[in-house]
Amino acid sequence: MKSGSNLERVFLSGQFACTAEIGPPKSTSSRSISRHAAALKDYADALNLTDNQTAIVRLSSIAASVHVMKAGAEPVIQMTCRDRNRIALQSDLLGAYSLGVRNLLCLTGDHQSFGNHPTSKNVFDLDSVQLIRAVQQLRDGKVFVSGDKCKYEPRMFIGAAANPFGDPFAYRVVRLAKKVAAGADFIQTQAIFDVERFKRYMDMVRDMGLHEKTYIMAGIVPVKSATALRRNAEVPGMAVPDELVKRMAGVPKEKQKEEGVRIAVELIQQVREIEGVKGVHIMAIAWEDIVPELVDRAGLFPRPQLAKEDGDTSG
C-alpha cells in the first residue's frame, strides 16, 4: 500500500471507485464544505477539494480538507502549479500530510486570465508532470526536488488529470503515459460527454497498457439545463456532442434537471462498460446535493466499507 487511503484500498479491492468534488466557498465560512461532506461521505470513496478553480480565490483546498475529515469523509486535495513554486508546493504537501490528507491530485491549473484576478502573476515553476514526479520521489525516495532527504515523508496516493478531448488528440495518450511514468497512481479525466471519442482514447490507453499501470476514473459532470450544457461545450478542451445538446434542449425547462441526472446516470453506465475504466469522478460543482441520487441511480451505492489494515499509515 502506498498511502493507505480509502480510495487506494477501494482500487486495490478491485471494486469500481467513485469520487465526487466539493468547491470551497469564496469566504471563510466552512459550513457548505462540512454540509456537503456529510451529505456525500457515504456516496463517494473520497471527495476532491478544488484548488482555486478557474483561478478564482476560494478557501484553500488543504484547509477545506480538514473540514471534510472532521465531517467523516476522505479528502483528495487538488494542487495546481499556477500559484506556487516548488518550495511552496512541497511545503504544502508536508503540511497537508501532517493534517491527515492522503490523496493528492496534481494539476497544471487554469490560466489566471479566466479568474477574478486576471492581473496577477502566475508561477508554473513546475508543470503537472514534474509535480507528480516530485510527489512520487518524496514518497518513494524520501527526497525533495533539491535532492535533500526528508526524514518523515508524505505518503500520498498520487492523482493526475487527463483530458481525452484536448488537442492534439493523438498526443493526449502520450502525455498520459508521461504522467503515469512520473508516478500517477490514479487519473481523473475531464468531463466525458462524448463517449465515442472517449472510447477511442481508451483504445489507445489500452494499446499502451496504461490501464494496467494506473487507475483511470472517468469524469462525469451532471448539468441542470441546456444552457449549462452549452456553456460546458464552450470551455476550451471540452467536447459535447450536438445530439446531447439537442436532447436536453428538447426537454421542457422544468424537466431539464431530471434529464440532466438521467444523462449523467447513462454516461456513468456507458463509461463503466469501457475496459480499463476503474471508477468515476463526479464533478457536480454548485450542484453537490445531486451526488447521492446520481450514485444511487447509477447502481454505485452502497460504497465499499473496507477495514483498515494493521500498519496503515493513514490516520
When the beta carbons of 219 and 222 are compared against other proteins, the nearer one is: 219
Determine the Cα–Cα distance for residues 259 and 248; give it in Å rounded to an integer.
7
When the beta carbons of 1 and 208 are compared against other proteins, the nearer one is: 208
**Binding letters toward other proteins, positions 129-168, x by CB under 8 A:** xx--xx----------x---------------xxx-xxxx
Among 101, 126, 229, 264, binds other proteins (CB under 8 A): 126
Q: Quote the least distance from Cβ 207 to other proteins, whole Å.
A: 14
DSSP letter at 139 equals: H
When the beta carbons of 63 and 181 are compared against other proteins, the nearer one is: 181
Q: What sign results for the dihedral spanned by CA atoms 298, 303, 304, 308?
A: positive
The SS3 call for residue 77 is: strand
Is 108 among the residues that bind other proteins (CB under 8 A)? yes
What 236-244 contacts at long range (C-beta under 8 Å, 24+ apart), as own/partner pairs, is 237/163, 237/165, 237/166, 237/190, 238/165, 238/190, 238/191, 238/193, 239/165, 239/193, 239/194, 239/197, 240/193, 240/194, 241/193, 241/194, 241/196, 244/193
Q: Do residues 189 and 163 lie in contact, with contact meaning Cβ atoms separated by under 8 Å? A: yes
Is 236 among the residues that bind other proteins (CB under 8 A)? yes
Grid cell, residue 150, equals 526528508
Is 230 among the residues that bind other proteins (CB under 8 A)? no
Is 180 among the residues that bind other proteins (CB under 8 A)? no
Q: Quote the least distance from Cβ 160 to other proteins, whole Å.
A: 11
Among 36, 41, 67, 82, binds other proteins (CB under 8 A): 82
What is the rounded radius of gyration, in angstroms, for the C-alpha atoms of the chain? 19
Q: Do residues 17 and 278 lie in contact, with contact meaning Cβ atoms separated by under 8 Å? A: yes
Grid cell, residue 261, equals 441526472
Among 141, 237, 250, 315, binds other proteins (CB under 8 A): 237
Determine the Cα–Cα distance for residues 241 and 97; give it in Å rounded to an integer.
41
When the beta carbons of 65 and 128 are compared against other proteins, the nearer one is: 128
Q: Do residues 201 and 173 lie in contact, with contact meaning Cβ atoms separated by under 8 Å? A: yes
Q: Do residues 33 and 65 lie in contact, with contact meaning Cβ atoms separated by under 8 Å? A: no
When the beta carbons of 251 and 285 are compared against other proteins, the nearer one is: 285
Determine the Cα–Cα distance for residues 182 and 119; give it in Å rounded to an integer.
32
Q: Quote the least distance from Cβ 218 to other proteins, whole Å.
A: 15
Is 190 among the residues that bind other proteins (CB under 8 A)? yes
Among 81, 218, 263, 265, binds other proteins (CB under 8 A): 81
When the beta carbons of 84 and 224 are compared against other proteins, the nearer one is: 84
Q: Quote the least distance from Cβ 184 to other proteins, whole Å.
A: 12
A 10 A CB-CB count for 111 gives 14
Q: Do residues 79 and 61 lie in contact, with contact meaning Cβ atoms separated by under 8 Å? A: yes
Q: Quote the least distance from Cβ 118 to other proteins, whole Å.
A: 10
When the beta carbons of 12 and 88 are compared against other proteins, the nearer one is: 88
Is 128 among the residues that bind other proteins (CB under 8 A)? yes
Q: Quote the least distance from Cβ 145 to other proteins, whole Å.
A: 6
Determine the Cα–Cα distance for residues 79 and 107; give it in Å rounded to an integer.
6
Among 174, 231, 266, 275, binds other proteins (CB under 8 A): 174
**Contact residues: other proteins, CB under 8 A:** 81-82, 86, 108-111, 113-114, 122, 124-130, 133-134, 145, 161-163, 165-168, 171, 174-175, 177-178, 181-182, 190, 236-237
